[in-house]
């Protein structure tokens, strides 16, 4: 499982391929499709496509349900010979009071199972979260193509 690391410490080149609004269920479907398309275009295995799309879907739902809506940026990332995909979810919602607790399985302030954040973290290679009470939440996930 990747560590929770600070945002912006990665020394990689990134190219923005899509920026999508997340304000409705339809826009979540659109994001899932964009992520799937890019994962296929980058040559991800079916299992890695599914892992990244699943993580994207959970975080997009959090952005909508807990963050009051926001945006997702999709980047292609390159680090030497490695190619991957990175998603940055941003909202200006209420923020998370205790991030470590929110990452634990079974913690939910809503009606969910509380598996979204921790599950997304396990499905990706890199996971970063920054949240400030009253100011919103940013989550960044990265998955590298397996060679
Ligand atoms: N973008 C966000 N803004 C504010 N709070 C958030 C955000 N994302 C997650 N949280 C908080 O973290 C908790 C855990 O999130 P997680 O996705 O793990 O579970 P959940 O969304 O409650 O349930 P589910 O299992 O359906 O995803 C949420 O209940 C919520 O309190
Ligand atoms: Mg969730």
Delineate the domains of the chain, giving CATH numbers in brackets: 14-144 (3.30.565.10)
Contact indicator for 76, 14 with CB cutoff of 8 Å: yes
Name the pLDDT band for 7 (thresholds 50, 70, 90). Answer: very low
84 CA to centre of ligand 1 in angstroms? 25
80 CA to centre of ligand 2 in angstroms? 33
pTM of the entire predicted model: 0.93
25 CA to centre of ligand 1 in angstroms? 16
Nearest CA to ligand 1 atom 6: 66
Contact indicator for 141, 102 with CB cutoff of 8 Å: no
* Candidate from 58, 62, 137 with most ligand 1 atoms within 8 A of CB, to mutate: 62
Nearest CA to ligand 1 atom 12: 102
Check pLDDT > 70 for residue 8: no
Question: Who contacts 14 (Cβ-Cβ below 8 Å, separation ≥6)?
Answer: 75, 76, 77, 78, 86
The predicted structure's pLDDT at residue 6:
44
The predicted structure's pLDDT at residue 147:
80
């Amino acid at each position: 499982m990747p560590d929770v690391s600070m945002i912006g410490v990665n020394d990689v080149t990134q190219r923005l391929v899509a920026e999508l609004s997340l304000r409705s269920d339809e826009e979540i479907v659109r994001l899932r499709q964009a992520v799937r398309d890019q994962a296929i275009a980058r040559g991800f295995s079916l299992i890695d496509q599914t892992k990244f799309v699943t993580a994207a879907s959970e975080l997009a739902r959090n952005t909508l349900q807990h963050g009051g809506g926001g945006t997702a940026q999709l980047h292609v990332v390159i680090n030497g010979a490695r190619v991957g995909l990175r998603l940055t979810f941003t909202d200006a919602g209420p923020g998370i009071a205790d991030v470590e607790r929110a990452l634990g399985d079974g913690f939910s302030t809503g009606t969910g199972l509380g598996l979204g954040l921790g599950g997304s973290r396990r499905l990706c290679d890199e996971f970063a979260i920054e949240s400030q009470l009253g100011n919103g939440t940013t989550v960044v996930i990265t998955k590298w193509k397996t060679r």
